[in-house]
Amino acid sequence: MNEQQLAHNIANLLERVRLSAEKSQRCADDILLLAVSKTRPEQDIRSAHKCGLREFGESYLQEALDKIEALQDLDLVWHFIGPIQSNKTRPIASNFHWVHSVDRAKIARRLSEQRPPGLPPLQVCLQVNISAEQSKSGVAPEQLPQLAQEVAQLPRLQLRGLMAIPAATQDSLQQRRAFAQLRREFEQLQLQLPGLDTLSMGMSGDMESAIAEGATILRIGSAMFGPRNR
Ligand SMILES: *Cc1c(COP(=O)(O)O)cnc(C)c1O
């Protein structure tokens, strides 16, 4: 993508974050704009970095590993946000700073065991299948407290919060309802685990609703880099 266009999109997104935060009486600095760079070439990430972005989200493991390798000269923070197969946990544990999509104990245990000793703990969000969610990924809300307790005990993981991908809808009331449900699950868990500080929710089509319901990480792809082909 053209560097000028990208700079324009990023400035625009940061302004939207600022306005929505203000509307909800929140501090815009508490909201991270995570650049979802899946399917995008290395050069787009370099351009986004020039615009001041450091944190990038990827969903496809092999593609992500190639980019992480190619971009080692930059000081980037990598977030894995895609589905996790249990035979792929080792490269995730070794190459990423964050994982947003942990939804079962077996995956969490493997990530903890495989996190290299020289690195800080892997920062983890649990993906929750809130009622509106179409996909099968994500822990059911009924099983969330138990999974959270278990993950919180793992020595090489730091449990930070929750993530969800609600069904896409243009209806902002429906968007708010889904995000409010995730926020309530989050606040419930915070009673047991007061260190939780992260709500990863909101994408290009629903970021304002997510901010209004307390999102601390927005995962933004197409509104930044343009439409995806895949
Ligand atoms: C692709 C993806 C996004 C970004 O979606 P956009 O609608 O392009 O902003 C966010 N979160 C996850 C988990 C994704 O896979």
**pLDDT value, residue 227:** 94
Facing residues of 80 across strands? 58, 99
**pLDDT value, residue 90:** 98
pTM exceeding the 0.85 threshold for the entire prediction:
yes
Q: 79 is written with which tokens?
A: 């977030």
Distances (CA, A) of 60 to 49, 56, 65, 129, 230: 20, 13, 9, 20, 12
Contact 126, 151 (CB under 8 A): yes
Q: Is 59's C-beta closer than 6 angstroms to any atom of ligand 1?
A: yes
**pLDDT value, residue 134:** 63
How far is Cα 77 from Cα 96, in angstroms, rounded to an integer? 8
Q: 138 is written with which tokens?
A: 């994500």
If you ran DSSP here, which 8-state letter would residue 156 be given? Answer: T
How far is Cα 216 from Cα 33, in angstroms, rounded to an integer? 9
**pLDDT value, residue 89:** 98
Q: Is 135's C-beta closer than 6 angstroms to any atom of ligand 1?
A: no
How far is Cα 83 from Cα 133, in angstroms, rounded to an integer? 14
Q: Is 9's C-beta closer than 6 angstroms to any atom of ligand 1?
A: no
Q: Is 138's C-beta closer than 6 angstroms to any atom of ligand 1?
A: no
**pLDDT value, residue 135:** 67
- φ, ψ of residue 69 to 5 degrees: the values are -60, -50
Our measurement of the distance from residue 114's CA atom to the centroid of its chain's CA atoms, rounded to an integer in Å, reads 21
Domains and CATH numbers, the chain: 3-225 (3.20.20.10)
How far is Cα 209 from Cα 166, in angstroms, rounded to an integer? 12
**pLDDT value, residue 136:** 73
Tell me the pLDDT of the chain (230 aa) as tens digits.
899 999 999 999 999 999 999 999 999 999 999 999 999 999 999 999 999 999 999 999 999 999 999 999 999 999 999 999 999 999 999 999 999 999 999 999 999 999 999 999 999 999 999 975 566 789 999 999 999 999 999 999 999 999 999 999 999 999 999 999 999 999 999 999 999 999 999 999 999 999 999 999 999 999 999 999 75
CA 125 to ligand 1 centroid distance, Å: 16
What are the DSSP calls for 160-185, one per residue?
A: EEEE--PPP-S-HHHHHHHHHHHHHH
Contact 84, 101 (CB under 8 A): yes
**pLDDT value, residue 83:** 97
